């Protein structure tokens, strides 16, 4: 046992315990069906858009957002805001305005299912396998971060913390935490906001406000030692052109890299094909609410960077170890046990500025987010493994009980595998680099195939799977070439490039293959392809009677205008 | 505010979502946290060197109590009405736990 990173008292543990009491209590009641109201809230297609909108954001406000973005903020500064304003909001609006009617109307439960209906077996098999692998790898990221907190609190060895965290997630799934997913996610959102807002405000107070923060970043950068790899201060303090993020020296290339690589391919790929999130919108009460779900979610999403990235930046000038790390040193400690990393920025800031009490609130929020995140990955893996892979390709026509047993084994198996994939995640100093790499492998080609298949009825089933395979392979090739040192891009530039290449290869090959193979008959594409779906199936007949602030398009317009203003302001 | 509210007067016995309305759950959790943090702020150690002199527990606690009041007030003013005969949720079929025991529907 080594010394603990965070000193929590009984008060902090009480706040954590209350949270889990709430979550597990609702989970158990939901499973036993004791209250008609809970059943109502959890039944499909009954929720108002503000609830699904918050759940939508919350499903994403996990490890990636909180630890990854604060790590990125500490390392690179303001360019990280692009992940929200360029890399999320436009894609969320596109999902709501254009894509959601197809999802809501076709009632598919998973991405592979949509692939099966549009392209048939080949694309389905490829996509189901790559989706299952991606979920296992991302579950590993969540588990690694969860174990990091356990280690920071209790000082255990990292591998013991990993196993314990795995067992905790497994019992959370088993006790029914997932049955009450919507309640959990909305509660989690409020707990996280309630702890991160004070963290940001106190942090700003400590460094002397926004001016104090910029002065300190400028001073730290001016006095940096030669070992420091931190970008110059003006790059850290302006969102554009963001060379620190994209890794390109040229400002023009950097802007192109961010807009096309991050803003278009990675972000559209992530938001429009990520069913862990899209499913939240499917629980809403009408096609209009489903479309408004990501749009309503985009409003809090715009302001979340202020409470995750800014604390990271504060941490880099206020916390002793972080200052040392950014100055090229390699301080001892950190959640992984192998020295402080940027991933520790938020935990260290919490240690330094939050009094006991608020500290407990913050720990509850982080534990909840990572646990729910991993549980969602495992549940998504489970659905795809049991039904899309096992039932369709390995053992058809068995009893429901049989597939249920397979599902249980898959859940336990996935947790064990995640303990090993967590090791890969622990090898990255900044977990964001790893995640963006994964998204480039899996989401970028998927998005290319989706978007082409949705708007071009000529696209053939063969093109579906060929594009996916070639896209993923080309992204992996780019990543491995960079890893071998053939070319060099700092920040998340390699991930942006790999995603862009995967997207382009997928589109080009899909078009070429489509032109020489036979398309599906138009009658089978209704509800799946834009031109073959009647307008009535894509819109809500009641929508026109709503006041403007409850209609999809005006809301999307306001959101877009706000995000453009934010881009100019920073 | 919600698509399910506002039409309650038409049915004979409107069944309100009540304590399990998601807004009441949010209000309850935020309220409990608020009270605990206010007490911690008033009675506990102040730790001004961490926060730079602000009593962070007290202020956060007060803010949370306000948030709780807003959510509970909203749920009171515009209750969500549970309609007759909605589709009960399916249990997640892949979850490794005892399935919910539900009486067969008619």
The mean predicted confidence, pLDDT, of chain A is 82
- Which residue of chain A comes nearest to B4, CA vs CA? A48
Residue A543 has a pLDDT of 72
Is residue A179 in some structural domain? yes
- Rounded CA separation A230/A157 (Å): 30
For A246, half-sphere exposure in the C-beta direction (CA atoms, 13 angstrom radius) is 28
Residue A42 has a pLDDT of 64
- Rounded CA separation A281/A268 (Å): 16
Is residue A2 in some structural domain? no
Q: How confident is the model at residue A63 (pLDDT cuts 50, 70, 90)?
A: low
Residues of B in contact with A403 (CB under 8 A): 93
* Placement of tokens 């493994």 in the chain: A385
Q: Which residues pair with A284 in a beta bridge?
A: A47
Residues of A in contact with B29 (CB under 8 A): 18-19, 22, 187, 190-191
Q: How confident is the model at residue A499 (pLDDT cuts 50, 70, 90)?
A: confident
Is residue A297 in some structural domain? yes
**CATH code of the domain in which A115 resides:** 1.20.1730.10
Give the mean model confidence (pLDDT) for residues A505-533: 85
Is residue A3 in some structural domain? no
Is residue A1 in some structural domain? no
Nearest to A368 by CA among A195, A200, A201: A195
List chain B pLDDT tens, one digit each, 106 residues.
444 444 434 444 556 666 778 889 999 999 999 999 999 989 877 777 787 778 888 999 999 999 999 999 998 888 877 766 666 555 544 444 444 444 443 4
Q: Give the SS3 label for residue A47.
A: strand
Residues of B in contact with A37 (CB under 8 A): 17-21, 82
Tell me, letter by letter, the H, E, C secondary structure of A32-97: HCCCHHHHHHHCCCCECHHHHHHHHHHHHCCHHHHHHHHHHHHHHCHHHHHHHHCCCHHHHHHHHH
Query: By mean pLDDT, which of A171-175, A514-518, B82-86 is the weakest?
Result: B82-86
Residue B15 has a pLDDT of 66
Of B28, B89, B94, the CB nearest to A411: B94
Distance from CA of A37 to the nearest CA of B (A): 5
* Placement of tokens 């990572």 in the chain: A370
Percent of chain A with pLDDT over 70: 93
Give the mean model confidence (pLDDT) for residues A418-440: 84
Residue A87 has a pLDDT of 81
Residue pair A270/A440 in contact by the 8 Å Cβ criterion: no
Residues of B in contact with A379 (CB under 8 A): 92, 94-95
Six-digit token pair at A460?
Answer: 């053939």
Residues of A in contact with B40 (CB under 8 A): 11, 355-357
Residue A61 has a pLDDT of 79
pLDDT in tens, A243-276: 777 777 777 777 777 777 777 777 888 888 777 7
* Angle of helix A552-569 versus helix A287-318 axis, rounded to 10: 20
pLDDT in tens, A36-49: 666 666 655 667 78
Of A19, A39, A379, the CB nearest to B89: A39
pLDDT in tens, A203-228: 999 988 888 888 888 888 777 766 66
Residues of B in contact with A38 (CB under 8 A): 20
The interface pTM score, or ipTM, of the predicted complex is 0.82
Of A22, A46, A187, the CB nearest to B86: A46
Percent of chain A with pLDDT over 90: 12
| A435-474: b (≥16 Cβ within 10 Å) or e | bbbbbbbbbbbbbbbbbbbbebbebbbbbbbbbbbbbbeb
- Which residue of chain B comes nearest to A51, CA vs CA? B22
If phi > 0 it is left, if psi is from -120 to 50 it is alpha, else beta; for residue A506 that is alpha
Contact flag B50-A198 (C-beta cutoff 8 Å)? no
Total number of domains constituting chain A: 1
Is residue A325 in some structural domain? yes
Give the mean model confidence (pLDDT) for residues A294-304: 88
pLDDT in tens, A181-204: 778 888 888 998 998 999 999 999
Query: Domain residues for A354?
Result: 10-569
Contact flag B89-A205 (C-beta cutoff 8 Å)? no
Query: By mean pLDDT, which of A195-204, A360-369, A554-563 is the weakest?
Result: A554-563
* Position A152 pLDDT exceeds 50: yes
Residues of B in contact with A14 (CB under 8 A): 36
Residue A512 has a pLDDT of 92
Of A37, A354, A361, the CB nearest to B20: A37
Helix (H) or strand (E) holding A463: helix A461-483
* Placement of tokens 């052109």 in the chain: A241
Interface probe with B: pick from A16, A37, A183, A390, most Cβ of B within 10 Å: A37
Q: Which residues pair with B81 in a beta bridge?
A: B16
Is residue A84 in some structural domain? yes
- Rounded CA separation A334/A151 (Å): 9
Is residue A197 in some structural domain? yes
Contact flag A36-B82 (C-beta cutoff 8 Å)? yes
Give the mean model confidence (pLDDT) for residues A118-130: 90
Residue B95 has a pLDDT of 44
Largest CA distance in chain A: 69
Radius of gyration (Cα) for chain A, nearest Å?
A: 23
Contact flag A356-B40 (C-beta cutoff 8 Å)? yes
Largest CA distance in chain B: 65
Of A22, A44, A48, the CB nearest to B2: A48
Contact flag A37-B37 (C-beta cutoff 8 Å)? no
Residue A414 has a pLDDT of 93
């Amino acid at each position: 046992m080594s010394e603990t990173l965070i000193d929590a008292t009984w008060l902090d543990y009480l706040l954590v315990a209350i949270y889990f009491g709430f979550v597990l209590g609702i989970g158990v009641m939901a499973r036993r069906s004791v209250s008609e109201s809970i059943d109502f809230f959890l039944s499909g297609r009954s929720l108002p858009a503000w609830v699904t909108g918050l759940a939508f954001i919350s499903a994403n406000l996990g490890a990636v957002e909180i630890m990854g973005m604060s790590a990125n903020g500490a390392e690179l500064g303001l360019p990280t805001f692009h992940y929200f304003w360029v890399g999320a909001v436009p894609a969320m609006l596109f999902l709501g305005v254009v894509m959601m009617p197809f999802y809501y109307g076709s009632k598919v439960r998973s991405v592979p299912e949509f692939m099966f209906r549009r392209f048939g077996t080949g694309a389905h098999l490829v996509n189901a396998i790559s989706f299952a692998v991606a979920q296992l790898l991302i579950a590993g990221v969540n588990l690694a971060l969860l174990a990091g907190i356990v280690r920071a609190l209790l000082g255990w060895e990292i591998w013991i913390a990993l196993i314990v965290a795995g067992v905790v997630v497994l019992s959370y799934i088993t006790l029914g935490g997932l049955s009450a997913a919507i309640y959990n996610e909305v509660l989690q959102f409020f707990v996280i906001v309630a702890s991160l807002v004070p963290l940001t405000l106190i942090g700003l107070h400590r460094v002397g406000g926004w001016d104090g923060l910029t002065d300190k970043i400028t001073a730290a950068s001016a006095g940096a030692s030669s070992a420091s790899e931190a970008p110059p201060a003006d790059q850290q303090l302006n969102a554009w052109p963001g060379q620190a993020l994209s890794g390109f020296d040229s400002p023009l290339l950097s802007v192109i890299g961010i807009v096309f690589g991050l803003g278009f391919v990675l972000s559209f790929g992530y938001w429009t094909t990520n069913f862990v999130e899209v499913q939240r919108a499917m629980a809403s009460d009408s096609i209009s609410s489903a479309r408004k779900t990501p749009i309503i979610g985009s409003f809090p999403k715009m302001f979340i960077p202020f409470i995750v990235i800014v604390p990271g930046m504060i941490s880099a000038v206020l916390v002793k170890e972080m200052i040392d790390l950014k100055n090229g040193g390699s301080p001892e400690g950190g959640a992984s046990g192998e020295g402080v990393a940027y991933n520790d920025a938020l935990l260290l800031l919490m240690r330094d500025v939050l009094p006991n009490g608020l500290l407990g609130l913050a720990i509850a929020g982080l534990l909840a987010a990572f646990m729910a995140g991993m549980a969602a990955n495992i549940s998504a893996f489970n659905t795809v493994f049991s039904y899309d892979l096992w039932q369709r390709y390995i053992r058809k026509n068995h009893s429901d009980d049989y597939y249920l047993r397979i599902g249980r084994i898959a859940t336990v198996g996935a947790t064990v595998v995640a303990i090993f994939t967590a090791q890969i995640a622990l090898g990255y100093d900044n977990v964001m680099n790893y995640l963006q790499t994964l998204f480039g492998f899996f989401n970028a080609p998927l998005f290319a195939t989706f978007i082409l298949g949705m708007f071009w009825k000529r696209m053939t089933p063969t093109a579906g799977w060929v594009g996916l395979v070639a896209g993923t392979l080309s992204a992996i090739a780019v990543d491995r070439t960079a890893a071998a040192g053939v070319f060099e891009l700092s920040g998340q530039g390699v991930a942006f490039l790999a995603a862009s290449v995967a997207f382009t290869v997928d589109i080009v090959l899909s078009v070429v293959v489509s032109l020489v193979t036979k398309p599906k008959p138009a009658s089978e594409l209704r509800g799946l392809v834009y031109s073959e779906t009647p307008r009535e199936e894509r819109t809500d007949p009641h929508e026109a009677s709503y006041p403007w602030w409850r209609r999809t398009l005006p809301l999307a317009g306001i959101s877009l205008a706000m995000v453009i203003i934010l881009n100019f302001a920073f | 505010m919600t698509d399910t509210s506002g039409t309650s007067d038409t049915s004979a016995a409107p069944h309100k979502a009540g304590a399990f309305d998601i807004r009441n759950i949010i209000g309850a959790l935020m309220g409990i946290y608020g009270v605990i943090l206010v007490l911690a702020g008033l009675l506990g150690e102040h730790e001004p060197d961490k926060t730079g002199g602000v009593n962070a527990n007290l202020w956060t606690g007060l803010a949370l109590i306000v948030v709780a009041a807003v959510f509970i007030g909203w749920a009171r003013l515009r209750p969500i009405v549970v309609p007759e005969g909605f589709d009960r949720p399916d249990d997640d079929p892949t979850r490794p736990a005892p399935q919910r025991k539900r009486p067969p529907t008619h």
